[in-house]
Amino acid sequence: MTWLVTGGAGYIGSHVVKALLEDGLAPVVLDDLSTGHAGFVPDDVPFVEGTILDQPLLEKTLDHHGVTGVIHLAGFKYAGVSVSRPLHTYAQNVQGTGTLLEAMLAQGVGAIVFSSSAATFGTPDVDLVTETTPTSPESPYGESKLIGEWLIRDVARAHGLRHTSLRYFNVVGSGAPELYDSSPHNLFPLVFAALAEGRTPRINGDDYPTPDGTCVRDYVHVSDLARSHVVAARRLEAGEALEPVYNLGSGDGASVRQIMDAVREVTGIDFEPEIGPRRPGDPARIVATGELARRDLDWWMRHSLVDMVRTAWESAPRA
């Protein structure tokens, strides 16, 4: 069984490739390297450099490698930036997904695992998000991910495509020293960069209605996330029914101050974070249940918060 991983040279994608290999599946990577790294792709994994907007390339790749399913992670992933670049976001995440689906239909590839996002929920007004919590995205990025889910759903109705969409929350950590999160917008890389440069990490607001006053988010380890992609792929390949959408959440969450405390413990660098004002639009708490995914996708928290910070720190690039 051969699975195409779009965006397989990225942070999450490279961990999915690693998990596929460990499970005895054959991955093929397609990535345009706009945010990914060619060095993240193992030497023995076929790598095609290109965009999901290139349908002839997609069809050629699917055919040449005998692809039986797709794990679709490629896309423009920066929610904040998407507000100022909506056309680019929709082209990559909506048009790109549509082009991929066209190529799959043309080549008779009948299964897809889609990388969706917690951004589809916007700012939920519940303490614990479930798959039935209403979606209300607040950025072009969140909207584009929700439209991607709809596209896949509608193609499945029309053509019998086997599918599921996985909604991620805050993905952190590392499963290998050479694989790291290089996003300029995520909390862990920002904190590590500040420490490496001798700056003090910053907390945006400490007066939220949470136990320690700082925002609570749902942090999950990238290796646990990758493992559930493989289980989903295996089940779709076997023709087993899956839910159309799963939340990959911890059911618990951690505050920004708890993250800072764990960073201090792991790095051995003694610091007291600066406290800045709240960022507009930051909700106090976003935490999701992962019960459905635990039932169907072997999803559970194999890593503690300290594990998440430690593995991320060990893989973080040093100047």
Per-residue confidence (pLDDT) for residue 127, from 0 to 100: 85
Say what the pTM is: 0.95
Per-residue confidence (pLDDT) for residue 319, from 0 to 100: 62
Token digits for 12? 């999450």
Per-residue confidence (pLDDT) for residue 123, from 0 to 100: 86
Residues tagged active-site = 141
Token digits for 239? 């023709």
Let me know the angle formed at the C-alpha of 180 by 269 and 74, rounded to the nearest 5 degrees: 145
Sign of the CA dihedral with 94 first, then 226, 307, and 295 last: positive
- Tokens 């992933």 sit at which residue? 77
Token digits for 32? 């345009």
- Give the domain 2-171+219-248 fold: Rossmann fold (3.40.50)
CA distance 85 to 2: 34
Q: What is the DSSP string of 241-262?
A: ---SEEEE--SS-EEHHHHHHH
Where do the structural domains in the chain lie, given as residue ranges?
2-171+219-248, 173-217+250-288+301-315
CB 47 within 8 A of CB 17: no
Average pLDDT for runs of 10 along the chain of length 319: 96 98 97 97 98 98 98 93 94 98 98 96 90 94 97 98 96 96 92 94 94 95 98 97 96 95 96 91 88 97 96 88
For 173-217+250-288+301-315, CATH number?
3.90.25.10
